[in-house]
């Protein structure tokens, strides 16, 4: 639905609900519908192939994504939103992956094991795996990648608790990561960008020759073929992929199409074979289509919301009265009904019903109360005379612009004196957020299974000055929030961790640090001749789920095409 901003767990690791549990994944193709277990907090993606069908190797698909990535394709240097991760997942494998138990499993690593107090973790490289350039994957490769992540401009936020990363002198397949303090949830951070493993040979070569940076080399199911910014990223089958029989396709091509309805039309007219979307109008249309298959994904949770920058000096947004006034002014149900075809459901905080910490009542306003909004603004102005001006950022997507125009009208009615709308190209959107060069910002984020995956988005240690890169985009500095995040990071008690997450949810409900809108549903729509996506069995026997480290991302290596 809203702008494509999803750093979530996938950036350094690292959306529809309500009072009742909702289906986490659904595969639709005309009248044939398969629904996952609706009682599970997290569920396994349903199969996309009938039991009697056998995947046919070969073929190519063109996958339309919502943005390009304006970065070199090196894991420690990327500012990576969902489209970026959808590409990266095919070139690079991560050390761990989220599983259907709501936990993590080793993937490219064969084992990730802690000591008794979670201050040391041993990561063992999977044997007989090579990078696309023939370089062996071993403990030294893990050390090289994690050390680069530790000093990366963005990835460093995810590894700040790490004291040292060293090769085990007794075993060349093992990397030892030592923490400054207990970190029980550490393996979750390895499910995404921090855990992507790139060839050390390619990293060294691209250090010397920056022209090699956009030509990534990993261990993943596909091999880089060509990249033209804003046009195409193409890749071919890795015939030596360690996790056979994947991939089924011979080739896959990613094309950025920023406007959601244009992306929909490209699938309908046959220009592309697969799209991803959170656009409610598109999802509603394809739910009824007999010409398009679609998988809906919300199993890891993700929230569409308006991000507020509370770190701008002397900003009225540093006052909770102004923030909560903006929350009371909004009519989220009107947006969902008129613009989003009623597909998503109103959010009351960052945690959907599939996530630990979800509450039916967080204290956050669930219905428009313009009188309350006006009262709060008047109260603030009594202490701070003068006009209030706000700049609201949106992408160039037409639907997102319309949503911004609704918000503009509501904010003005509440008593804000001037509200401007800035449209930002989607490829630069994440960079703008990370630099803090905004006041009010359409966003999506906060998927994942464990509260620890939100640490770097909310903890004050990740809140840099405006103009510096920071993952705490809203520059929140709340001692109570810091204390809860720190306690959760070290805890292994599921009961206490649930209590902590709920306390965090209530804090966001009362402080209005963000304006919560809806829990996102991702639609992965495809031609009926394309089968997929689906989950797959992980090496430890558990099942990989959609949203591998970041909500909405799926596994193209499981796609196959009728020949």
Reported as a single tens digit per residue, the pLDDT across 480-526 is 999 999 999 999 999 999 999 999 999 999 999 999 999 989 999 99
Residues in Cβ contact with 274 at an 8 Å cutoff, skipping those fewer than 6 apart: 61, 62, 63, 64, 267, 524, 525, 526, 527, 530, 556, 559
Cα–Cα distance, 403 to 383 (Å, whole number) = 31
For position 52, what pLDDT does the model report?
58
454 secondary structure, DSSP code: G
Instruction: Choose among 74, 92, 75: nearest CA to 210.
Output: 74
Kindly indicate the confidence band of residue 320, based on its pLDDT and cuts at 50, 70 and 90: very high
Tokens of 304: 């569409």
The predicted-structure confidence for 200-214, as pLDDT tens digits, reads as follows 999 999 999 999 999
CB 342 within 8 A of CB 305: no
> Which is the CATH superfamily of the domain at 303-519?
Dipeptide-binding Protein; Domain 3 (3.10.105.10)
Average pLDDT, the chain: 89
Cα–Cα distance, 517 to 348 (Å, whole number) = 7
- Cα dihedral 261, 263, 269, 273 sign: negative
Residues forming a β-bridge with 226: 234
Radius of gyration of the chain (CA): 22
Cα–Cα distance, 13 to 195 (Å, whole number) = 7
Q: What is the mean pLDDT of residues 246-258?
A: 97
The string over 509-519, giving b where at least 16 C-beta atoms fall within 10 Å of a residue's C-beta and e elsewhere, is bebbbbbbbbb
Q: What are phi and psi of 92, to 5 degrees?
A: -115, 145
Question: What SS3 state is found at 33?
Answer: strand
The predicted-structure confidence for 55-84, as pLDDT tens digits, reads as follows 999 999 999 999 898 778 999 998 888 899
CB 298 within 8 A of CB 522: yes
Does the model's pTM come out above 0.95? no
Helix (H), strand (E) at residue 177: strand 174-179
Instruction: Choose among 432, 429, 434, 491: nearest CA to 457.
Output: 434
For position 173, what pLDDT does the model report?
98
Cα–Cα distance, 152 to 78 (Å, whole number) = 9
The string over 4-39, giving b where at least 16 C-beta atoms fall within 10 Å of a residue's C-beta and e elsewhere, is bbbbbbbbbbbbbbeeeebbbbbbbbeeeeeebeee
For position 487, what pLDDT does the model report?
96
CB 518 within 8 A of CB 350: no
Distances (CA, A) of 496 to 223, 361, 368, 450, 510: 44, 19, 34, 12, 21
The predicted-structure confidence for 87-105, as pLDDT tens digits, reads as follows 999 999 999 999 988 899 9
Residue 7, pLDDT > 50, answer: no
137 secondary structure, DSSP code: P
Cα–Cα distance, 434 to 437 (Å, whole number) = 8
């Amino acid at each position: 639905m809203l702008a494509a901003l999803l750093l979530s767990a996938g950036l350094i690791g690292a959306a529809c609900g309500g009072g009742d549990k909702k289906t986490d994944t659904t595969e639709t193709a005309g009248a044939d519908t398969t629904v996952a277990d609706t009682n599970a907090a997290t569920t396994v993606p349903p199969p996309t192939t009938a039991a009697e069908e056998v995947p046919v190797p070969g073929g190519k698909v063109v996958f339309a994504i919502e943005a390009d990535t304006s970065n070199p394709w090196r894991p420690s240097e990327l500012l990576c939103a969902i489209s970026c991760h959808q590409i990266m997942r095919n070139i690079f494998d991560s050390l761990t992956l989220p599983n259907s138990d709501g936990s993590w499993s080793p993937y490219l690593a064969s084992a990730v094991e802690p000591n008794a107090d979670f201050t040391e973790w041993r990561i063992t490289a999977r044997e007989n795996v090579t990078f696309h350039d023939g370089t062996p994957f071993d403990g030294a490769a893990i050390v090289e990648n994690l050390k680069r992540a530790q000093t990366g401009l963005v990835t460093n936020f995810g590894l700040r608790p790490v004291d040292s990363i060293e090769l085990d002198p007794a075993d060349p397949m093992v990397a030892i990561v030592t923490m400054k303090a207990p970190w029980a949830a550490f393996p979750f951070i390895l499910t995404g960008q921090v855990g992507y493993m790139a060839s050390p040979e390619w990293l060294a070569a691209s250090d010397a020759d920056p022209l090699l940076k956009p030509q990534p080399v990993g261990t993943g199911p596909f091999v880089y073929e060509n990249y033209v910014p804003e046009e195409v990223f193409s890749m071919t089958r890795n015939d030596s992929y360690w996790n056979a029989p994947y991939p089924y396709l011979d080739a896959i091509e990613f094309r950025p199409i920023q406007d959601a309805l244009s992306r929909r039309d490209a699938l309908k007219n046959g220009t592309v074979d697969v799209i991803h979307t959170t656009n409610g109008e598109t999802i509603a249309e394809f739910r009824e289509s007999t010409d398009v298959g679609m998988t809906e994904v919300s199993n890891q949770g993700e929230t569409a919301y308006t991000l507020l920058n509370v770190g701008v000096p002397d900003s009225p947004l540093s006052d909770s009265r102004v923030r909560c006034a903006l929350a009371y002014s909004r009519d989220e149900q009107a947006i969902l009904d008129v613009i989003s075809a009623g597909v998503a459901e109103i959010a009351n905080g960052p945690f959907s019903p599939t996530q630990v910490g979800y509450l039916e009542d967080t204290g956050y306003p669930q219905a428009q109360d313009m009188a309350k909004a006006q009262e709060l603004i008047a109260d603030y102005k009594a202490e701070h005379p003068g006009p209030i001006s706000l700049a609201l950022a949106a992408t160039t997507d037409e639907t997102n612009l319309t949503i911004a125009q609704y918000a503009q009208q509501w904010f003005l009615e509440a008593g804000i004196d001037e509200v401007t709308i800035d449209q930002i190209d989607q490829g630069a959107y994440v960079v703008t957020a990370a630099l803090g060069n905004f006041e009010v910002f359409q966003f999506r984020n906060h998927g994942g299974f464990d509260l620890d995956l939100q640490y770097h988005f909310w903890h004050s240690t990740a809140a840099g000055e405006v103009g510096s890169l920071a993952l705490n985009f809203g520059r929140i500095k709340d001692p109570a929030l810091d204390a809860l995040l720190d306690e959760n990071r070290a805890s292994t008690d599921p009961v206490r961790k649930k209590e902590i997450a709920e306390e965090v949810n209530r804090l966001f409900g009362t402080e209005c640090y963000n304006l919560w809108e809806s829990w996102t549903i991702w639609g992965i729509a495809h031609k009926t001749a394309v089968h997929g996506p689906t989950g797959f069995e992980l090496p430890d026997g558990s099942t990989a789920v959609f949203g591998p480290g970041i909500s909405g991302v799926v596994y193209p290596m499981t796609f196959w095409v009728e020949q």
